[in-house]
């Protein structure tokens, strides 16, 4: 073993699909997230462990959802920037996770 942390994208895709299937079973095909703004730290900051913790910024679910729609529209003017588009999708997924934790 090389010490590298590896992930199969096929496995990740299947796992995300299974979780979203369960959310849909519980919540239906369209989910009311019930929140809009949330705390976040940037992707590169999330993996830095220095003496001073990174400062969170504010994310916006409405912006995340709009970015998702823009990505899915397959417009010629929208190129995929993996880090940016993943950050927006993570915001939505975190919103779903937070909703699942509500009593």
Higher pLDDT, 78 or 20: 20
Confidence check: pLDDT of 1 > 80 = no
Q: Which residue has the higher pLDDT, 70 or 30?
A: 30
Q: What is the pLDDT of residue 14?
A: 98
Strand pairing category for 57-60 and 37-40: antiparallel
For the segment 39-52, what is each residue's pLDDT rounded down to a tens digit?
Answer: 999 888 888 888 78
Structural domain spans, the chain:
33-101
Start-to-end C-alpha separation, the chain: 42
The kind and range of the H/E element at 60 are strand 57-60
Identify the pLDDT of residue 2. 63
Q: What is the pTM of this model?
A: 0.89
For residues 55-62, give the mean pLDDT: 95
């Amino acid at each position: 073993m090389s010490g590298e942390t590896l992930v199969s994208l096929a496995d990740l895709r299947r796992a995300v699909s299974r979780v979203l299937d369960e959310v849909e079973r519980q919540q239906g095909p369209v989910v009311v997230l019930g929140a809009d703004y949330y705390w976040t730290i940037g992707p590169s900051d999330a993996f830095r462990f220095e003496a001073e913790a990174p400062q969170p910024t504010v994310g916006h679910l409405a912006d995340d959802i709009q970015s998702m729609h823009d990505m899915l529209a397959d417009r010629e003017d929208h190129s995929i920037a993996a880090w940016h588009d993943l950050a927006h999708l993570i915001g939505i997924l975190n919103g779903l996770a937070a909703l699942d934790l509500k009593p």
